[in-house]
Structure 1
Amino acid sequence: MSEPDQRGTPPLLPNPAPQTPPPTGGSRYILPIVFLFIAGVFIFGGWIVSAFNQFTSGMTAPARTEFTEVTLRSGDPENRIAVIDVTGIISSIGPSDMVTTIKKQLELASADKRVKAVILRIDSPGGEVMASDEIARAIRDFEADNDNGPVIASMGGMAASGGYYVAAPCRFVFANELTITGSIGVIMQSINLHGLLDKVGVKPVTFKSGSNKDMLSSLNPPEATTPEQKEIMQRFIDDTYDAFVKVVEEGRDKKKGNRSTEKDARALTEDWQDYADGRILTGQEAYQHGLVDQLGNFDDAVKFTEAFVGIESGKARLIKHEAPLNFGGLLRFLGQAEKAPAGTTVQVDLGVDLPRLRPGVPYYLSGHLYAD
C-alpha cells in the first residue's frame, strides 16, 4: 500500500515568488515631483543670488547726480512754474541733504528761462538753525537776481518755526486758515541722565580743557550748571532768536522794492513780536498779524503766481526737479546713524517715536511736538 500511495501523490510545487503590486495612481508621481522641486529650488535660488548681486552692485556704484524733471501739471512748455518741496524736519544730514537739494533745484530753475516763478511748498515743523538759514539765504539770492522770477510760499498743514523761517524771505506767502505756523523761537534741549546713572551704578569720567567744556553734558548733575554757564547758553539762544526776528522783519518789509507795488501784500502789525514768543498760530492768526499775505491752498497759490507773472490762468506747466535716489546712502544712514560703542548707551522707552535731534544743536523747531 505504501508504494502505490507514494506513486499516486503529486510532487510539491515551489511557492511562487511574491509579486510587487503595481504602483498606485499617486505614488508613481512622487519621484518626478521631488526632482522638479529640487530643480525649482536651484533655479529660484540662482535667480535670488543674481538679483541680490545686481542690487548690491547698484548700491555700491557711484550715485546718480542728475535731477529728473517731472511734470506735475501739463501746460505751456514756455511758461513754467517750478515747485520745490520743503517737507519734514529741515536738516542738512541724512540720506538726502535737504539744503543741497533745494539749492540745486533753485539753480536749475534759474538756468531754465522758461521758468517764470518758483512755488515753495512747505509742510514742515522746522529743523536745524543752520539748515533753515542756508535755505532762506538761497531764496534771497535767487530773488536778488533780476533774471529770476519770484518765489511764492505755499504753506500746507504745518509751516512752523524753521518752516516759517524759510517762508519769510519769499515774495508772497500763502497759508491755509488751519495751517499750523508761527512757533517763532529757538529750542535746544538736553536730557539729564545723572540720576538714572546713579541708580544703575554707572560713574562717568570726564577729562576737559576748560570749566565750560562740558556744560551741556547730560552726565553732570543739574546743580553743576553754574549761573555763568546758564548765561552763556541763554545769550546764545537770544542771539539766534534775534537772527530769526531779523529774517522775518526783512522778509515781510513792504518797503522793499519787490513788495512795494503788491496791493495784496500785508505788512507786519505793530505788535507782531508779542506773538513771536514760541507760540503756534493758525494760518488765520498769522494773516491777522501780517505774517502771511493771503489765505488759500496750493491751487490758490498757483493761480496767484500765474497772474503775478502774467500767465493765463491754468496755462502754466508745473514742474519739479526730483533729486536722484541714493539707496546706498540711505542704508548707510540707517545702519550707521550715530552708533555708539556697545555698552555705552542707555535706551529709555518714552512710548512714542520722535524725530532724532542731535544733542547740543539749536533748532528752529516747534517745541509743541515734544510737549508733555
Structure 2
Amino acid sequence: MSLDADQVVERRRLKRRLTLWRVIGVVAVVAALLAGMGRFDLDSGDHVARILVQGIIIDDQDRDKALAAVAKDDHAKALIVKIDSPGGTYVGGEALFETIRQVADKKPVIALMGTTATSAGYMTALAADHILARSSSLTGSIGVIMQTADVTKLLDKVGIKPISVKSAPLKAQPNPLEEFSPAARKATEDVVADYYDMFLDVVEERRKLPRDTVKALADGRVFSGRQALANGLIDAIGAETEARKWLDETHKIAESLPVQDVEVGDDDEPWRKWVDSKIEKVLFSERLSLDGVISLWQPNLW
C-alpha cells in the first residue's frame, strides 16, 4: 500500500515537472517569435516600406544594408523616406543619396520633409522620384562648409609654440596650430568649390533646372516649403496622405496597402540605439572632423 502511495506521489511530481517545462518551452517559443517579428516584418506580405532619416546624416552601413534589403524585397512595393534632418557630412549625404537611388531603380520612392530637410537632408530628398514638404518645412541650404580656427596667437600669449615636421607645406592644412597661409586657404577653397559643384550637379540633374537657376538658389539660404515649391526644389505640398495618393494615382499602389517601418541596425540590442542617441551629439564633432567637408545648416548649433 505504501509502495502504491509513493508511486502516486512520484507520478504527480513528474507531471508537475513536465507541465513546468512545457510552460517554459511555450514561453520561450513565444518570446522568440515576438523578438523576430520586427526583423521579418518585410516578409509578411505586400506593403509600402517607410524609413525615417532624422538627426545628423553620416555614412551608415546599417542604414544602407536596410535600404538594400528593401530594394530586393518583392513585397515592398514602394519606399517612403521621411526626412527630419539639418544635414550632416557630405559623404554621408552622398552615400544615402546613392543607396536610395538604388531602391528607386526597382520601385517608386517618395520623400516627405518634416520640420527640417536642409543641406545633406535636401540631398537625401533629391534621391526620391517625388518630393513633398509641409508649407512650413525648412529646406534648401544647398552648399558645403569646412571650418577651422587659428589659435596660434592665443598659444603665444600662454607661451606655447607648436612644432610640426611635415613633408610639404600643405600637409595637415587647415590646422588650428598653424597660421592659415594663403596657399593653404586656396587649396581648401578649391576642395570646398569641388564639393559645391558636385552638389549643384545633383540638384541640376534631379530637379531638371538650368545651371544658372540652381546657382542662384544654392547660395546657402533656406526656403520654406512654399518657397521651395515656387522655385522648383520640391514637387508638392503635402504629407503621408498625399504621398499615398500619389503612389496610388501614379503607380497603382493602393492606399489600403499597409505601411511597414524599416528597422535599421540590430533589433537584438535596442539599448544600444538608446545609448547612441544620447551620445550622438558628443561624438558628432569628432566624426565630422574625420569626414572633413560637411553639408549642414547651422553647423554651430549641432
Q: TM-score with structure 1 length normalisation?
A: 0.63
Q: 1:268, 1:290 within 8 Å by CA — same for their partners in 2? A: no
Whether 1:116 and 2:77 are equivalent positions in the alignment is yes
Q: Which residue of 2 aligns with 1:252?
A: 207
Q: 1:160, 1:184 within 8 Å by CA — same for their partners in 2? A: yes
Q: 1:123, 1:156 within 8 Å by CA — same for their partners in 2? A: yes
Q: Which residue of 2 aligns with 1:230?
A: 185
What's the CA shift for 1:322?
1.4
Larger radius of gyration: 1
What's the CA shift for 1:141?
2.1
CA separation of 1:81/1:286 partners in 2, compared to 1, >3 Å: closer, same or farther? same
CA separation of 1:329/1:172 partners in 2, compared to 1, >3 Å: closer, same or farther? closer
Q: 1:169, 1:250 within 8 Å by CA — same for their partners in 2? A: no
Whether 1:294 and 2:236 are equivalent positions in the alignment is yes
Whether 1:208 and 2:208 are equivalent positions in the alignment is no
Whether 1:68 and 2:36 are equivalent positions in the alignment is no
Q: Which residue of 2 aligns with 1:194?
A: 152
Bigger fraction of residues in helix: 2
Q: 2:131, 2:235 within 8 Å by CA — same for their partners in 1? A: yes
Whether 1:169 and 2:127 are equivalent positions in the alignment is yes
Q: Percent identity?
A: 30
Q: Which residue of 2 aligns with 1:370?
A: 300
Q: How does 1:279-358 map to 2 (within 5 A)?
A: 279-313=221-255, 315-323=256-264, 324-325=266-267, 326=269, 327=271, 356=285, 358=288
What's the CA shift for 1:370?
2.6
Secondary structure of 1:156 counterpart? strand
CA separation of 1:155/1:279 partners in 2, compared to 1, >3 Å: closer, same or farther? same
Give me the CA root mean square deviation.
3.1
Q: 1:68, 1:321 within 8 Å by CA — same for their partners in 2? A: no
Return the alpha-carbon distance in structure 1 between the equivalents of residues 69 and 210 of structure 2. 32
Q: Which residue of 2 aligns with 1:40?
A: none
Q: 2:223 corresponds to which letter in structure 1?
A: L
What's the CA shift for 1:273?
2.5
Q: Which runs of 5+ in 1 are unaligned?
A: 1-63, 72-76, 93-98, 254-266, 338-351
Secondary structure of 1:120 counterpart? strand
Q: 2:56 aligns with which of 82, 89, 92?
A: 89
Return the alpha-carbon distance in structure 2 between the equivalents of residues 316 and 269 of structure 1. 39
Residue-by-residue CA offset, 1:53-108 (whole Å, 9 max, x unaligned): xxxxxxxxxxx99972559xxxxx6441100111110012xxxxxx3233222222
Q: Which residue of 2 aligns with 1:156?
A: 114
CA separation of 1:330/1:154 partners in 2, compared to 1, >3 Å: closer, same or farther? closer
Secondary structure of 2:144 counterpart? coil
Residue-by-residue CA offset, 1:218-263 (whole Å, 9 max, x unaligned): 01134xx12x22221111111111110111122123xxxxxxxxxx
What's the CA shift for 1:207?
1.4
CA separation of 1:133/1:67 partners in 2, compared to 1, >3 Å: closer, same or farther? farther
Q: Which runs of 5+ in 2 are unaligned?
A: 1-34
Q: Which residue of 2 aligns with 1:348?
A: none
Whether 1:359 and 2:292 are equivalent positions in the alignment is no
Q: 2:112 corresponds to which letter in structure 1?
A: S
Q: 2:207 corresponds to which letter in structure 1?
A: R
Q: 1:197, 1:203 within 8 Å by CA — same for their partners in 2? A: yes
Q: 1:189, 1:359 within 8 Å by CA — same for their partners in 2? A: no
What's the CA shift for 1:129?
0.9
Q: Which residue of 2 aligns with 1:51?
A: none
Return the alpha-carbon distance in structure 1 between the equivalents of residues 283 and 66 of structure 2. 29
Residues paired across the two proteins, number:
261
CA separation of 1:354/1:134 partners in 2, compared to 1, >3 Å: closer, same or farther? closer
Return the alpha-carbon distance in structure 2 between the equivalents of residues 157 and 69 of structure 1. 30
Return the alpha-carbon distance in structure 2 between the equivalents of residues 107 and 230 of structure 1. 40
Secondary structure of 2:188 counterpart? helix
Secondary structure of 2:262 counterpart? strand
Residue-by-residue CA offset, 1:137-170 (whole Å, 9 max, x unaligned): 11222222xxx21110111100000001111121
Q: 2:296 corresponds to which letter in structure 1?
A: L
Q: TM-score with structure 2 length normalisation?
A: 0.76
CA separation of 1:308/1:105 partners in 2, compared to 1, >3 Å: closer, same or farther? farther
Bigger relative contact order (CA 8 A; separation at least 6): 1
Return the alpha-carbon distance in structure 2 between the equivalents of residues 332 and 162 of structure 1. 21
Secondary structure of 1:204 counterpart? coil
Secondary structure of 1:125 counterpart? strand
Residue-by-residue CA offset, 1:160-219 (whole Å, 9 max, x unaligned): 000011111210000111111000001010122223322333222211111111321101
Q: 1:190 corresponds to which letter in structure 2?
A: T
